[in-house]
Structure 1
Amino acid sequence: MTPIHWRKAEPDDAAALSYLGAATFLSTFAFDHPGGPLIEHLDAEHSAGYYAAKLAQPDVDIVLGETPLGAPVGYALLMSPEHPQYQQEGDWELKRFYLLGPWQGGGNGRDLMAQAVEVARDRGAQRLLLAVYESNARAVAFYERAGFVHIGETIFMVGDVEFQDRVYAKTLV
C-alpha cells in the first residue's frame, strides 16, 4: 500500500475533493440509497462548488490525504457543529471522514482521525461531534474504537429520503 501524505486542503483542491467525496459516498451508500435521490445528493453536496464554498469559510478545515503522486484518497472535513440539540460550548464537528476502499485498514483511518483530532484541538475544541449512518456498521465500530460515545440520533437527508444517523461525541480535554 502506498503511503498517504496528509495536508491542509487549499482552494485549488475543490475539484479533487468533489471527485473523492462523490466516489466515497457512492461506494459506501449505494447499497441502500435510492438512485435518484443519491445522485441529487452528490450533485448538491459533493460538487466542486460545494467544496470551494467550504474551503472559503473561516470556520471549516479540511485535511486531505494523497498518494505520493498526488492522487486524492481520503479527507476529513471539520466545522462548527450542526447538531444544536447535542451541542455544548467548545464543540467542533467532524462532518465528513472518508477514505477510498483500498486505503481503508492498515492504520490509515487512525492516522486520519489523529489529524482530525489535532485540527479540532488547534481550534480549541473540548469535544468532537460526528453523525454516522446507523446501518454503516464498519464506520460505527471504527468511531467507537476511536473513543466516540453515542449521545443521540438525528435525521440525514439524501434528496427527499430520510436516513437515521447516530450522533457521537469524543471528549478531547
Structure 2
Amino acid sequence: MPKIEIRKASLSNLETIQDISKQTFIETFSDVNTPENMEEYVLLNFNAKQLSLEIDNPNSLFYLATLDSETVGYLKLNFGDAQTENANENALEIQRIYVLKEFHGKRIGQLLLDEAIKVARQMAVNSIWLGVWEKNYNAIGFYTKNGFITFDKHLFLLGDDPQTDLLMKLEIS
C-alpha cells in the first residue's frame, strides 16, 4: 500500500514548491483562463523570490505531501499578519492546498486539510478560513463535505480578469 507522508517544508524545498505551484495552477485553471493571464499570474506569484519570501515568513507554514518518495502536493497556512484578508488573530488561513492532478482521488488533499485542522487546534484558533474560486466546483464540494461554510466573497484578479472567490470557514472546537 502506498505511503503518504505530510512533513513541514523549508526554504530547501523551494524548487519543489515552485514546480508544484506552477503545474497545479496550470492544470486546474488553464482551460478557463487566457494563456496571458495564466502566465502573468504564475510569473508574479510563483517566482523564486516571491515563494522564498512566503516560506521565510514566520507567520506562514508550508507542509509537503509525499507519496512513497515523490512530492505530490503541499499546504500553505497563514496566521497573524500573513493572512491575505482582514488579519484575524484568532483564525488560520489555508492559502493553498495544491495536489498534482494525477494524484487526485488518493486522499492527499484530505490529509493536507487534516494537517491544517491539527495545526489550528494546536494554535487554539477559533476558525480556519480560505478563499476558493466560485467556479472551482470540485474544491467547493471538498470543503463543504469537510464542514466549511461560505461566509463572504471577494475579488480575485487573475491578470486582467476580475473573478470572484467564495470565502469559506470551518469553526474549530
Q: In structure 2, give the amino acid aligned to 1:106.
A: K
Distance in 2 (alpha carbons) for counterparts of 1:40 and 1:58: 27
Counterpart for residue 72 of structure 1:
71
Q: In structure 1, give the amino acid aligned to 2:73.
A: G
Contact 1:151 1:168 in 2 (8 A): yes
Which shows bigger deviation, 124-133 or 103-112?
A: 103-112
Q: CA deviation at 1:33?
A: 1.1
Q: Which runs of 5+ in 1 are unaligned?
A: none
Q: CA deviation at 1:52?
A: 1.3
TM-score, normalised with respect to structure 1: 0.92
Counterpart for residue 82 of structure 1:
84
Distance in 2 (alpha carbons) for counterparts of 1:5 and 1:51: 22
Q: In structure 1, give the amino acid aligned to 2:84.
A: E
Distance in 2 (alpha carbons) for counterparts of 1:121 and 1:62: 17
Contact 2:18 2:47 in 1 (8 A): yes
- Stretches of 4+ moved more than 3 A in 1? none
Q: Over aligned residue pairs, what C-alpha RMSD do you find?
A: 1.5
Counterpart for residue 55 of structure 2:
55
TM-score, normalised with respect to structure 2: 0.92
Distance in 2 (alpha carbons) for counterparts of 1:121 and 1:54: 22
Contact 1:22 1:42 in 2 (8 A): yes
Q: In structure 2, give the amino acid aligned to 1:10.
A: S
Percent of aligned pairs with the same amino acid: 25
Distance in 1 (alpha carbons) for counterparts of 2:159 and 2:71: 26
Contact 1:90 1:125 in 2 (8 A): yes
SS at match of 1:135: coil
Distance in 1 (alpha carbons) for counterparts of 2:41 and 2:149: 28
Counterpart for residue 157 of structure 2:
157
Counterpart for residue 28 of structure 1:
28
Q: In structure 2, give the amino acid aligned to 1:78.
A: L
Distance in 2 (alpha carbons) for counterparts of 1:57 and 1:124: 20
Q: CA deviation at 1:88?
A: 4.5
Counterpart for residue 147 of structure 1:
147
Distance in 2 (alpha carbons) for counterparts of 1:123 and 1:168: 19
Counterpart for residue 12 of structure 1:
12
Contact 2:65 2:108 in 1 (8 A): no
Higher helix share: 2
